[in-house]
Amino acid sequence: MRTLEQWFDEYAVSHQNPKNKAIHYVCVPAIFFSIVGLLMSIPSGLIARTLKLNAPILENWAVVVLLFVLVFYIRLSVVMAFKIAIFSTICLIVNYYIGQVFPLWIFSIGVFVIAWIGQFYGHNIEGKKPSFLKDLQFLMIGPAWVVENLFSKKRF
C-alpha cells in the first residue's frame, strides 16, 4: 500500500501549472461539497428501516458514505482523516442550510457540473490527463492534496 506522501507525489506530477493548481484548489473542494449535497438529497428513511436503527445521524446517506470515506483516509493518515472530517462536517452543515432555502439536489448538480468543467479546463492548461484516469483512488487523493497544500507551510 502506498503512503499518503507517495500518493501526493504522484498526484503532483499532473498538477504543476499554477493556474491548474489554483483551479484545483477551488474545484476539488466544490466537487466534494456537491457530492455531499447530492448524497444528502437522497431520501434517507430507507437507511433507518433497512438497518432498524434509531439514530438520526445515520439517517443521512452523506453521513453514512463519509464514514466509509474516513476509513480510506485513516488507513493513510489519522491526521489527514481528521482534517477531512472537519471539512466534511463543514460540507454537511453548509449543505443543510442551502437545502433549507433552495432545492439542494439542483444546487449540487450545478456546482458539480461547473466544477468538473473547471477541472478539465485546468488539465487542458496543464497539458496532462487527470490522475483519476490512471487510478480511481486519485478521486479520494485530490481532496487530501488540496487540504495539504492549502494549509501547510510548503503551500506553493
pLDDT band at 156 (very low <50, low <70, confident <90, very high): very low
Q: How far apart are CA 51 and CA 89, in angstroms?
A: 23
Listed ranges 1-5, 6-10, 59-63, 107-111; the one with the highest mean pLDDT: 107-111
Task: Determine contact, residues 4/79, Cβ cutoff 8 Å.
Answer: no
pLDDT at 53: 58
Evaluate if residue 3 carries a pLDDT over 80: yes
Cα 127 to the center of its chain, rounded Å: 23
Q: How far apart are CA 93 and CA 101, in angstroms?
A: 13
* Mean pLDDT score, 131-147: 85
Domain boundaries, the chain: 31-151
pLDDT at 38: 95
Evaluate if residue 118 carries a pLDDT over 90: yes
Look at residue 128 and give its three-state secondary structure.
coil
23-69 confidence digits (pLDDT tens): 999 999 999 999 999 999 987 766 556 666 555 555 688 988 999 99
Averaged pLDDT of the chain? 87
Evaluate if residue 71 carries a pLDDT over 50: yes
Long-range contacts of the stretch 105-108 (C-beta < 8 A, 24+): 105/37, 105/38, 105/41, 107/37, 108/34, 108/35, 108/37, 108/38, 108/41
Long-range contacts of the stretch 116-119 (C-beta < 8 A, 24+): 116/27, 116/31, 118/23, 118/26, 118/27, 118/30, 119/23, 119/24, 119/27, 119/28, 119/31
pLDDT at 154: 58
- Indicate the pTM of the whole model: 0.87
Residue labelled with grid coordinates 489519522: 78
**CB-facing half-sphere around the CA of 94: CA atoms within 13 A:** 15
